Structure 1
Amino acid sequence: MNPSLTERARRIDPRGAALADVCAVLGRIAIAPLFLLSGIAKLTDPTTFLRYIGSVGLPFPAAALGLAILVELIGGALLVVGYKTRVVAAVIAAFTLVTAIVFHRDLQDQTQFLFFFKNVAITGGLLQVVALGGGRWSIDRS
């Protein structure tokens, strides 16, 4: 079995690897509340979100809302603890990019422009998690 990138880095530069572990856990903890809070908001006020989903013409708004709640709540929680970190981060990254394209496509509107690129930036951060894993302080220790 090949050692992971973080394990090889730990042998080369233990202090740098320790910093990477701290950054990995802090990064996961910092990004997860965005999804957890959004999922809770959707769960507690589904009518508002159903109207919003319907306003962009998505079919089956209730199914889309349910999927969004699952991705945000379960994905956010799994991201915090670092379970299946790379897969979870990939799913959330795809979800975030799709929401940017579907809900923030009017780039002439300054607010939508900012929301679109905020989602693109979040996607980029999540792709870093996909590439580098959850770090030593995650359940999957990747």
Structure 2
Amino acid sequence: MTTPYTLASDRRTATQGASAAAAALCARLLLSAVFLISGISKFSNAEGTLGYIASAGLPFPEFSFGVAVLVEILGAILLIVGYQTRLVAILLAIFSLVTALAFHYQIDDQNQFIHFLKNLAIAGGLLQVAAFGPGSLSVDGRR
């Protein structure tokens, strides 16, 4: 039997579901923007990026460059569409932590410290996506 209370409760649940789906989509779009822009920038300025990687003392700068561009661009696209979202979010979180430690470890430099904290915050947001999923406005949510 349907009562006015049941109908109101159903509307509230539907509204909360739509709000959660929209928030999850926005979170994926905002998080992915950092990686997509960064990956395209690296690809567009390969020489400068390779020099930066080499100056950080990482072995195999060309290989590291290729991996970074692939992870950032492909990871961003997969995050945007919400495909294999939990796995992609975990991989991007790990990537963010590794880059924080490899490139922004000089925390006595305020600029580097801000970048370090930014990477930690991005990793935290990605772990939220991994924990709670992509929402219904995603490929994963449709399956």
TM-score by length of 2: 0.88
Mind listing any 5+ residue stretches in structure 1 that lack a counterpart?
A: 1-9
Mind listing any 5+ residue stretches in structure 2 that lack a counterpart?
A: 1-9
CA distance in 1, matches of 2:80, 2:106: 32
Counterpart residue type for residue 63 of structure 2: A
> Structure 1 residue runs of 4+, over 4 Å off?
none
CA distance in 2, matches of 1:130, 1:109: 31
Q: How does 1:99-138 map to 2 (within 5 A)?
A: 99-138=99-138
CA distance in 1, matches of 2:118, 2:110: 12
Q: Larger radius of gyration, structure 1 or 2?
A: 2
CA distance in 1, matches of 2:36, 2:117: 20
CA distance in 1, matches of 2:16, 2:49: 43
- Cα distance, 1:45 vs structure 2: 1.0
CA RMSD of superposed structures (Å): 1.7
| 1:58 and 2:87 correspond | no
CA distance in 2, matches of 1:107, 1:45: 26
CA distance in 2, matches of 1:87, 1:101: 21
What's 1:33 paired with?
Answer: 33
CA offset digits 1:7-41 (Å, max 9, x no partner): xxx9x933222211110001111111111111111
- Cα distance, 1:63 vs structure 2: 0.4
The percent of aligned pairs where both chains have the same amino acid is: 47
CA distance in 1, matches of 2:109, 2:46: 26
CA distance in 2, matches of 1:60, 1:115: 23
Aligned residues: 133
CA distance in 2, matches of 1:42, 1:56: 15
What's 1:85 paired with?
Answer: 85
CA distance in 1, matches of 2:127, 2:14: 24
- Cα distance, 1:84 vs structure 2: 0.4
CA distance in 2, matches of 1:139, 1:27: 15
- Cα distance, 1:119 vs structure 2: 0.4
TM-score by length of 1: 0.89
CA distance in 1, matches of 2:44, 2:112: 24
